[in-house]
Amino acid sequence: MTKRLTPAPHGLHGRLTVPGDKSISHRALILGAIAEGETTIAHFLAGEDCLTTLAALEQVGVRIDRQGERVTVHGRGWDGLTAPAGPLSMNNSGTTTRLLMGLLAGRPFESQLVGDPSLTRRPMARVSQPLAALGGRVRLSPAGTLPATVHGRPLQPATVEMTVASAQVKSALILAALQAPGQSVIRELLPTRNHTELMLQAFGADLTTASDQQTITVAPVPHLQAQAVAVPGDLSSAAFFLVAGAIVPHSRLTLPALGLNPTRTGILRVLEKMGARLEVTPAPAVAGEARGTVTIESGPLRPITLGAKDVPGLIDELPLVALLAACANGSSRITGAGELRVKESDRIATVCQELAKLGVAIEELPDGMVITGRPDWRIKEAVLDSHGDHRIGMMLAIAALRATRPLELTGEQAVAVSYPAFFVHLAQLKGGA
């Protein structure tokens, strides 16, 4: 099955409220499960990944009620989690997998985590190895991948030096450290998104982040307290429309109620550096999470150079940065992004392969890419492929808006992982032209 992608010669126009933040939705479910009382979640992202987390928590004894974007988690406390009756399916969700490894490492039962073929290729030793410093025991396949067996056991406090810049790994270590009988210290390689830390503080955890934004101290707290969580709009989802507004001529878009956590706003900084016509209007923060409205207009763009220090705050948006670079006037370079090779697809290879079909001059590097932008492309192939990767599929749908003729996208169903209404929202903004 293929999805027909049509150009937008008159641009995109309108106001769009994007779905709830994926990272925050995952974490609200997990913290609600181990808290005491009822946690309510508003503007929950009901994408496949977050629903995977919800189903896995139900399998370990947590009652969760969902009506659309509103969720109630009936917290069980740490000791209320129970052994699952069978394997826990992670489907395609790396976030679910890594966070639950940390959560279940300290519970007094065994759990098996299994995933779909794509997830089963992704590296998991980056979680199991640092968890071992806290006493965690996770057995992986010989290739260091799923299936994983988490042998729950009492954990011990420790100082853990991370070797990868990953918010998911950091969050797994924090969830494990909360269960140890003493203070633990986690040191990041580079600062990464801090949703777990902010939300845990709101739930009553004893957790502090040093001024370097890379050293987290975690002390055990026997009881977390249920909260009302208002999930902001997902900036990673909004990024597709922000980029569309920047690169599709005659466009002007406004996206309200977005999460503007400084660890997530790398795409806004890139747009500003590239000269995009961008306006950000802050709103009051909620539970430490910054929020606001962003308006974007189309216009000429400058090339950009990004290195390893820029990557953690941009990791999900780098395919979109490549698309921006393809529309800029000049040569852009992205390096230090080897982490892209172990996402839902090898995003360095897939971005280069698919953008080349559109006539973009793009060179693959071991840890990034070089893109020579130009205002017009010469389409070489009309059939694009998501490679089963939701972010690649959405990036290509945005790229196709600049084409001079309709294109086709295979694997469009992958988009539902994080943004089930993406194509509906895109059509609405095109219809307003």
Would you please indicate which residues are annotated as catalytic (active-site) residues?
Answer: 316
Q: Which two tokens stand for residue 301?
A: 């763009």
d(CA 293, CA 233): 10
Q: What is the dihedral of CA 168, 171, 173, 179, to 10 degrees?
A: -150
Those residues whose C-beta lies under 8 Å from the C-beta of residue 142, and which sit 6 or more positions away, are none
Those residues whose C-beta lies under 8 Å from the C-beta of residue 121, and which sit 6 or more positions away, are 145
Please count the helices (runs of H) and the strands (runs of E) in the chain: 13, 24
User: Which helix (H) or strand (E) covers residue 323, if one does?
Assistant: helix 318-327
d(CA 36, CA 21): 24
Angle, to 10 degrees, between the axis of helix 94-105 and the axis of helix 48-59?
Answer: 30
Do residues 18 and 255 lie in contact, with contact meaning Cβ atoms separated by under 8 Å?
Answer: yes
Do residues 87 and 114 lie in contact, with contact meaning Cβ atoms separated by under 8 Å?
Answer: yes
